[in-house]
């Protein structure tokens, strides 16, 4: 369903009065905000998710060619699919572990699932809490899970990325000790599934030592350098003498960026070491950033979601060039998990659930953090931040329709249950069940529908 700019202006000007239902067939309710949003990026609607209220979910993805949004919904043990044309819930693919409660009332995310998710064409790849990769045929409405491949760990397969042609996949087992990644042969545009493991990727223990609580986070594929770039929250020796087990204080380590060339990966187990400029692989040391998220934007730039969850000193977001490694820090936005570059409107979006309440000041604890959707332009300038539910750490965009999807947590019931500790999520959703909020801003007619230079998530 499309809404004219005039209609959108009416809806946005009315959000203070609660959710509004449009009196047309297939209409949807606008978001409810108090006070009304004065930002460029407006909340267009809140898509309700059937089943158990959303308290535990992970990564989301969009396939604009199929007009579908996918959410790893652990609360309902499946992948939720939203139609990005009608902005309605479409179906759910079940067969995942779901929430695992090991310390009531909290969910143990390390062994729950689904977790990471990525798509190319008819194929959706999703990580589960039992260290398996699920390969899903989106064209099969009866038995969509075609393969379940064990990566050999004991915890979840988490965030992942595909090459542009969909033929090579990298996925991180971030909760293992030490963490590792797995490189797969993926299906590309094939009609049947034959996904298989190429190699386990580990990192030299002098860089990522065991028993320090270290991780491997979101990867991104850069089609220009033909490398995967994977966020490493903290690494040893960065700076010299730091303690990688610490997340706060002067001895906390900064993170790194793992550069992987799939053509150089050897079968079996492949160990990556310090960055080698000749082969353009290995671990790049980062400054003032412990990243979770990674996305490729214009001019071969990577935006990394630095967060005080990994280093309490992080108060900015980092943009680094994949070729030169020159970097710039974006002020007044931090605390991101998933990040996304939308090639349709040339903007980065950050799911910053740990942004500093006082911009630019250290915020190492939950009491000094707030959740926002960060909006950054292609020149790496922060445009605005928009309040979100306290657990809001996932974001994805449809580049053909310039719609931004942000899941919202249901309100907290008891302390520690993972629910929203603010009133923001319920205000956006118009319910206490959580939802997926859909955002949009007015895009110039000359820009709308045209991809800008840079990487994308469209495959």
**pLDDT tens for residues 309-341?**
999 999 999 999 999 999 999 999 999 999 999
Record the pTM.
0.91
CATH of the domain at 74: 2.130.10.10
d(CA 214, CA 221): 22
Q: Average pLDDT for residues 153-169, to the nearest whole number?
A: 98
Q: Is the pLDDT of residue 457 over 60?
A: no
d(CA 160, CA 98): 19
**C-beta neighbour count of 258 within 10 angstroms:** 29
Q: Average pLDDT for residues 283-308, to the nearest whole number?
A: 97
Cα dist. 46→69, 175, 407, 438 in Å?
A: 14, 32, 9, 6
35, part of any domain: no
196, part of any domain: yes
Least Cα distance to 191 among 120, 118, 93, 122 occurs for: 122
Roughly how many angstroms between the first and final C-alpha of the chain, as a whole number?
Answer: 23
Overall domain count for the chain: 1
Q: Average pLDDT for residues 184-188, to the nearest whole number?
A: 98
Domain span including residue 70: 53-82+90-389
pLDDT score for 223 = 97
Residue 191's pLDDT band, with cuts at 50, 70 and 90, is very high
**Phi and psi based region of residue 84 (left: phi greater than 0; alpha: psi -120 to 50; beta: remaining):** alpha
Place of tokens 């009608």: 86
Q: Starting from the edge strand earliest in sequence, which strands make up the sheet with 327-330, in order? A: 291-296, 301-306, 317-321, 327-330
Q: Average pLDDT for residues 116-140, to the nearest whole number?
A: 98
Least Cα distance to 193 among 173, 166, 172, 219 occurs for: 166
d(CA 317, CA 332): 8
**pLDDT tens for residues 52-107?**
999 999 999 999 999 999 999 999 999 999 999 999 999 999 999 999 999 899 99
How many Cα atoms occupy the beta-carbon half-sphere of 158 within 13 Å?
A: 27
| Neighbouring-strand partners of residue 82 | 69, 89
14, part of any domain: no
Higher-confidence residue: 8 or 343?
A: 343
280, part of any domain: yes
397, part of any domain: no
Buried b (16+ CB within 10 A) or exposed e, 116-139: bbbbbbbbbbbbbbbbbbbbbbbe
Q: Per the structure block, which two tokens stand in for 264? A: 């150089």
Place of tokens 């209609």: 7
Contacts of 171 (CB under 8 A, 6+ apart): 116, 125, 127, 133, 151, 157, 158, 159, 160, 181, 182, 184
d(CA 360, CA 76): 37
Residue 249's pLDDT band, with cuts at 50, 70 and 90, is confident
Q: Is the pLDDT of residue 23 over 60?
A: no
């Amino acid at each position: 369903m499309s809404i004219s700019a005039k209609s959108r202006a009416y809806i946005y000007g009315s959000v203070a009065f609660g959710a509004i239902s449009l009196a047309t067939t297939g209409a949807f309710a606008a978001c409810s905000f108090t006070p009304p949003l004065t930002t460029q990026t407006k909340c267009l609607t809140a898509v309700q998710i059937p089943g158990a209220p959303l308290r535990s979910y992970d990564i989301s993805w969009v396939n604009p060619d199929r007009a579908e949004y996918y959410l790893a919904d652990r609360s309902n043990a499946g992948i939720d699919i939203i139609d990005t044309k009608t902005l309605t819930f479409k179906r759910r693919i079940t067969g995942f572990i779901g929430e695992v409660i090991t310390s009531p009332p909290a969910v143990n995310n390390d062994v729950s699932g689904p977790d990471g998710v990525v798509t190319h064409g008819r194929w959706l790849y999703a990580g589960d809490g039992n260290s398996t990769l699920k390969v899903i045929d989106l064209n099969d409405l009866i038995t969509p899970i075609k393969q379940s491949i064990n990566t050999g760990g004991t915890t979840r397969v988490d965030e992942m990325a595909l090459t542009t042609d969909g033929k090579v996949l990298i996925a991180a087992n971030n909760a293992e000790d030490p963490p590792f990644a797995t490189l797969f042969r993926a299906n590309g545009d094939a009609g049947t599934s034959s996904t298989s493991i190429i190699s386990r990727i580990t990192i030299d223990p002098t860089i990522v030592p065991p028993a320090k609580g270290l991780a491997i986070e979101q990867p991104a594929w850069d089609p220009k350098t033909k490398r995967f770039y994977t966020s490493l929250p903290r690494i040893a020796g960065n700076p010299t003498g730091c303690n990688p087990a610490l997340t706060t204080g002067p001895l906390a380590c900064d993170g790194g960026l793992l550069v992987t060339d799939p053509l150089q990966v050897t079968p079996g187990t492949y160990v990556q070491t310090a960055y080698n400029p000749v082969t353009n692989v290995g671990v790049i040391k980062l400054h003032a950033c412990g990243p979770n998220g990674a996305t490729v934007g214009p001019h071969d730039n990577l935006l990394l979601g630095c967060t005080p969850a990994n280093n309490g000193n992080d108060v900015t977001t980092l943009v680094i060039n994949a070729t030169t490694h020159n970097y710039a820090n974006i002020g007044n936005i931090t605390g991101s998990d998933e990040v996304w570059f939308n090639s349709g409107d040339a903007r980065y979006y950050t799911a910053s659930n740990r942004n500093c309440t006082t911009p630019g000041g250290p915020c190492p604890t939950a009491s000094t953090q707030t959740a926002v959707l960060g909006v950054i332009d292609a020149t790496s300038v922060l445009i605005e931040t928009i309040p979100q539910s306290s657990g809001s750490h996932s974001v994805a965009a449809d580049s053909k329709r310039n719609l931004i999807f942000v899941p919202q947590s249901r309100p907290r019931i008891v302390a520690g249950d993972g629910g929203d500790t603010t009133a923001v999520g319920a205000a956006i959703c118009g319910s206490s069940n959580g939802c997926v909020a859909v955002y949009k801003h007015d895009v110039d007619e000359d820009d709308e529908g045209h991809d800008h230079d840079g990487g994308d998530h469209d495959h």
